[in-house]
Structure 1
Amino acid sequence: MISFETYWFFLLTPLPWLIYAWLPAVGDQSPALRVPFTDDLASLTQQTQLSSGKSPINILLLTFIWLCLLVAVNRPIATGDAIQLPTEARDMMLAVDISGSMEERDMMLNGKNVRRIDTVKHVLSDFTDRRSGDRIGLILFADQAYLQVPLTYDLATVKQLLNEAQLGFAGQKTAIGDAIGLSIKRLIERPNESRTLILLTDGANNAGNVAPLDAAKLAAENAIKIYTVAIGADTIVERSFFGNRTRNPSRDLDETTLKSIAKQTGGQFFRAKNTEDLQGIYSELDKLEPVDQEAQFYRPIKQLFYIPLGIALGTTFLLLLLNIFIQLKRKLLDSKALNEQSP
């Protein structure tokens, strides 16, 4: 269906005729020249009246150009048939820890030791790719929590901004409570069955203004389910000049609080000691049931103003060529007539 964004400019349709009718005509300022064959020139002028601005063809073409310009300036649009958006979807907030401890290289990816954050980016990228039709948001937290991407169907942007996240720009500590509080603020407007937070961290809450369990209580009151994911190996072997040394890189991980958060909100706690564990956790999270939402529709809209604008420009060019041709033809006829009148 074709319509216009506005119709007001059509009120200008009679403007050229009003200007022609009310403004005085410009007089002929050229000096008079008397010639003995005035009658012959008058007859030639009548024969070539198409060159005059008042000729029917000129008036018709100028009218057509003016109407095309009015159509273009009123912004014609073509509206397509209604298209239904997916009616089953998950609304998930991903809260990812980017504190300094995520720099720890205790994960294996493609046979190489990599940082925890690199493993998270890899696994979450695959997880996001499988979320077609879902709405996902992204929160990054360290000393404070930041909303990186609000809930959106644009999963490519979520994936891109996750992969661009850098450790340290939000600080070195871990504000788990603040991350949950910010997630509540973004999810509270969604349907009760659709409020889900996936919280991934490798440490304990040691920053922020909100205690994690207090935030979890508020989440439970607002029917927000929290799945907590603790990442980090239990032991790693470090080789040195004095021999091998075993170290626990996850000694600061507060599993007790994370388990309590998940239990209090009706979610589940997961422990990822390696990349395979983390991949299995997100495969398990894939089984979350989608929520039925009200059907939403949109109609694709295509701008068409360039069509009448192009026609107007093309007609103007044609009019110029036509008048140039007529002027040249008139000069040839005038020259021929003058030669015939010469003795």
Structure 2
Amino acid sequence: MIGFASPLAFLLLPLPLLAMRLLPGREAVTGALLIPESIGRGLAEGARDGLHVRIRRAVPILLWLALVVALAGPQRLEPVEALPVSGRDMVLAIDLSGSMEQEDFTLDGRTVSRLEAVKAVGKRFVAGRAGDRVGLVLFAENAYVAAPLTFDVAAVSRAIDEVTIGISGRSTAIAGGLGVALKRLEKGDARSRVVILLSDGADTSGNVLPADVARLAKRLGITVYTIALGPEDRETRPNDPDAVDTATLKMIAETSGGRSFRVKSTGDLATVTAAIDGLEASGLDRPPATIRRDYWIWPALAALGCAVFLVVSRRAL
């Protein structure tokens, strides 16, 4: 919709005519506003003496009209779709230990590694979090931030896509990964702060106990959802070093006020992320926002062109 920022500026349109009627001649003017004679003549006299003269008399009128329109500030207001805003900060903490290379998941009819399944489902999950700030923490022997908290969910999806095993060691420091995730969230002022921790092993690295980090999450008011990956767990195969420690992951989730999920297939993983999506639903849509596009520059340029024409034509006489 086209409108004007200062429509009262159009009250200036009759100013040259009023000035011609009310102001005395140039000889008697002392300190008053001088209105160019060319504008007054153009407004007062009809067109005569040929096309060139008529143009020279019309240009001052066009100049004044263009100036007034520029002062009025023509603009166009365009509605744009606003992102939903949830006030939620969310960090994905993904296990990159060596066991994530095991190919016991399926994706689109292919057998893939656990990491490939996590990446595929994780990217879909992140893509649906418009309006949330999402971050990514990767952990194995060490933990680091792969993507800081951001509204740019596409950037986080790209970071997930670039994840490879071995860049942070091959053992599993669950407590360390969770600790780094909490560090990213502890100073935030979002109304809801969430960690989604995915692991297929047990805490085999680091000097911090998972129980201590879980209590820290509770003290900070940060909810932790844990996802235990893989077909085997410590309860059924206690001597298997690659079996997931479901008991520890469940303890972390319950201590912080979250939930723990068991995943043995890609289908389970998609179901779990959908469940978390429901528990931490994205924010309500805001009404469309409005952006303003200003067009005052065009009448201003037209006025400048008229002024240049008057100067050039006067010198030519």
Category of TM-score, reference length = shorter chain: 0.5 to 0.7
Instruction: Show the counterpart of 1:282.
Output: 273
In the TM superposition, what is the alpha-carbon distance from 1:150 to its structure 2 partner? 0.7
User: For the residues of structure 2 that align with 1:139 and 1:120, how far apart are their CA atoms?
Assistant: 14
In the TM superposition, what is the alpha-carbon distance from 1:196 to its structure 2 partner? 2.4
Correspondence 1:268 to 2:268: no
Instruction: Show the counterpart of 1:310.
Output: 298
Q: Among 183, 195, 198, which residue is 2:196 paired with?
A: 198
In the TM superposition, what is the alpha-carbon distance from 1:120 to its structure 2 partner? 0.5
> Contact 1:233/1:249 (CA < 8 Å) preserved in 2?
no
TM-score by length of 2: 0.63
Instruction: Show the counterpart of 2:149.
Output: 150
User: For the residues of structure 2 that align with 1:120 and 1:290, how far apart are their CA atoms?
Assistant: 20
Alignment of 1:100-111 (within 5 A): 100-111=98-109
> Contact 1:139/1:146 (CA < 8 Å) preserved in 2?
yes
User: For the residues of structure 2 that align with 1:203 and 1:211, how far apart are their CA atoms?
Assistant: 15
User: For the residues of structure 2 that align with 1:112 and 1:86, how far apart are their CA atoms?
Assistant: 36
In the TM superposition, what is the alpha-carbon distance from 1:206 to its structure 2 partner? 4.1
Instruction: Show the counterpart of 2:40.
Output: none
Q: Among 284, 287, 290, which residue is 1:300 paired with?
A: 290
CA-to-aligned-CA distance 1:137-160 (integer Å, 9 cap, x gap): 3323331221514153x4333323
Letter in 1 for 2:265: N
Instruction: Show the counterpart of 2:9.
Output: none
Instruction: Show the counterpart of 2:212.
Output: 214
- Identify which range, 61-70 or 266-275, moves more after superposition: 61-70
Letter in 1 for 2:149: P
- Identify which range, 309-318 or 141-150, moves more after superposition: 309-318
Runs of 5+ consecutive residues of structure 1 not aligned to the other structure: 5-17, 22-46, 236-247, 332-343
In the TM superposition, what is the alpha-carbon distance from 1:278 to its structure 2 partner? 1.5
3-state secondary structure, aligned to 1:261: helix
Instruction: Show the counterpart of 2:183.
Output: 185
Letter in 2 for 1:185: K
3-state secondary structure, aligned to 1:105: coil
User: For the residues of structure 1 that align with 2:87 and 2:281, how far apart are their CA atoms?
Assistant: 5
User: For the residues of structure 2 that align with 1:215 and 1:269, how far apart are their CA atoms?
Assistant: 16
Letter in 2 for 1:256: A
3-state secondary structure, aligned to 1:166: coil
Letter in 1 for 2:298: G
Runs of 5+ consecutive residues of structure 2 not aligned to the other structure: 7-30, 35-48, 234-238
Correspondence 1:253 to 2:244: yes
Letter in 2 for 1:222: L
Alignment of 1:34-113 (within 5 A): 86=84, 91-113=89-111
> Contact 2:63/2:302 (CA < 8 Å) preserved in 1?
no
3-state secondary structure, aligned to 1:102: helix
User: For the residues of structure 1 that align with 2:177 and 2:4, how far apart are their CA atoms?
Assistant: 48
In the TM superposition, what is the alpha-carbon distance from 1:280 to its structure 2 partner? 2.5
Considering only CA atoms, is the larger Rg found in Structure 1 or Structure 2? Answer: 1
3-state secondary structure, aligned to 2:214: helix
Letter in 2 for 1:175: A
Letter in 1 for 2:158: Q
Letter in 2 for 1:263: E
Q: In angstroms, what is the RMSD of aligned CA positions?
A: 4.6
3-state secondary structure, aligned to 2:279: coil
User: For the residues of structure 2 that align with 1:283 and 1:272, how far apart are their CA atoms?
Assistant: 13
CA-to-aligned-CA distance 1:84-114 (integer Å, 9 cap, x gap): 8647675432212234442332322222221
**Distance change >3 Å, CA 249–CA 131, structure 1 → 2:** farther
In the TM superposition, what is the alpha-carbon distance from 1:216 to its structure 2 partner? 0.7
CA-to-aligned-CA distance 1:296-336 (integer Å, 9 cap, x gap): 778433231xx222233345456667887x68xx89xxxxx
Q: Percent identity?
A: 34
User: For the residues of structure 1 that align with 2:77 and 2:173, how far apart are their CA atoms?
Assistant: 48
User: For the residues of structure 1 that align with 2:63 and 2:266, how far apart are their CA atoms?
Assistant: 72
Instruction: Show the counterpart of 2:23.
Output: none
